[in-house]
Amino acid sequence: MINIEHLVKYYGKIRAVNDISFQIGEGEIVGFLGPNGAGKSTVMNILCGYLSCTSGKAEINGVDILENPIEAKKQIGFLPELPPLYPEMTVNEYLNFIYELKDVTLKRKEHLEEICRVTAIAHVRDRLIRNLSKGYKQRVGIAQALIGNPPVLIFDEPTVGLDPKQIVEVRNLIKSLGGRHTVILSTHILPEVQAVCDRIIIINKGVIVANEKTEEISKAVTDNSRLTVKICGSEKAVLSALKGLNGVVRAEVVGRQDADSITYIVESSAGIDLRKPLFNLMAAEHFPIIGMEAKGLNLEDVFISAVDEEEERFSKKKRKDKTREKEMGGR
């Protein structure tokens, strides 16, 4: 459905996107996750034909966006970071204007009514856009993207600036569009991608640092491989028992809330659930467990470790390049 190959974008001397490739299948909801300045908007703008790339290729349904922009753009509904709304128009006037602009052939009345129903803006159709709340403006922006029923929807930070209730509403709306549409959305909010997307592409400094099914990332997130355990007994004896337990890769003290018990972090190799053997061992050794919690990694840990790994690789490469330069220079 969407095919991006070796995309590179320079703004003058700034390299905003550095050799990005990925594919997105029909009906998938994919989240672009990354800090501000990562290059999310740049990739989306290129994909929509709004910006040209320095090199590489972007195809929608086999149609190259640079070679055949009109055909490619017909397949896309786009909600840019700042929705292109006309505040002086009513919602109705605006939707009709976009309908004409896009040269849609679907039956106008039914089509616009359906879109207003889906985005829940039917009751504000006669209001001036200027007077709508931010949440409603955003829904009008999404409605605009849906006009013409394009198979691909691209939403750049669709929940920015909304209040918590509006965020949930917009997320649910986007979720309901999956299946019938292929959706790409960008966000810098970690739980957002987890709540909405089938797959997560993490971007940092213009490169992809992770591209995984949300379940895979969530598995790491809810994994029982990291436990926080509160145990009574001598620190030395408990630690040595913990370290001797099959599957434990790390055990250390993290806190001492009261005189009687000590809190430990215990990590196992992936896939091993330590909770029962840990209970049995501590019971046998007469060290009462008075609290146990599976911490797992949180999404933030996953994100940070993906970004760190990439930066580590990058700086290693840089060091290598520098050494090579020196060597070459010395000759």
The site for ligand ADP (CB under 6 A) is made up of 11, 14, 16, 34, 36-42
Structure tokens belonging to residue 145: 């993207």
Query: Residue 240 Cβ, how far from ligand ADP at the closest point, in Å?
Result: 48
Nearest residue (CB) to ligand ADP, 49 versus 233: 49
Burial of 82-93, coded b for 16+ CB within 10 Å and e otherwise, reads: ebebeeebbbee
Q: Where does this chain touch Mg ion (CB under 5 A) — which range of 40-48, 205-213, 220-228, 240-248? A: 40-48
Q: Which residue has tokens 């005189």?
A: 259
Residue 19 has phi, psi (to 5 degrees) of 60, 60
Stretch that binds Mg ion, among 11-19, 36-44, 174-182, 221-229 (CB under 5 A): 36-44
Which of 18, 5, 109 is closest to 57 using CA atoms?
5
- How many amino acids of this chain bind Mg ion (CB under 5 A)? 2
DSSP state of 122: G
Smallest separation (angstroms) from Mg ion to the CB of 147: 23
Reference 199, options 331, 31, 14; nearest CA is: 31
Q: Which residue has the tokens 């786009």?
A: 78
For residue 10, list its beta bridge partners: 15
Which of 41, 182 has the CB closer to Mg ion? Answer: 41
CB of 282 to Mg ion, least distance (A): 50
18/228 with CB nearer ligand ADP:
18
**16 contact choice in Mg ion, ligand ADP, none (CB below 5 to 8 Å, kind-dependent):** ligand ADP
Query: Taking Cα atoms as reference points, which of 80, 77, 98 lies closest to residue 152?
Result: 77
Site for Mg ion in 144-183 (CB under 5 A): none
Give the shortest CB-317-to-Mg ion separation in angstroms. Answer: 27
41 near Mg ion, judged by CB under 5 A: yes
Other Cβ atoms within 10 Å of 271 Cβ, number: 10
Kindly list the residues in this chain that would bind Mg ion in the complex (CB under 5 A).
40-41
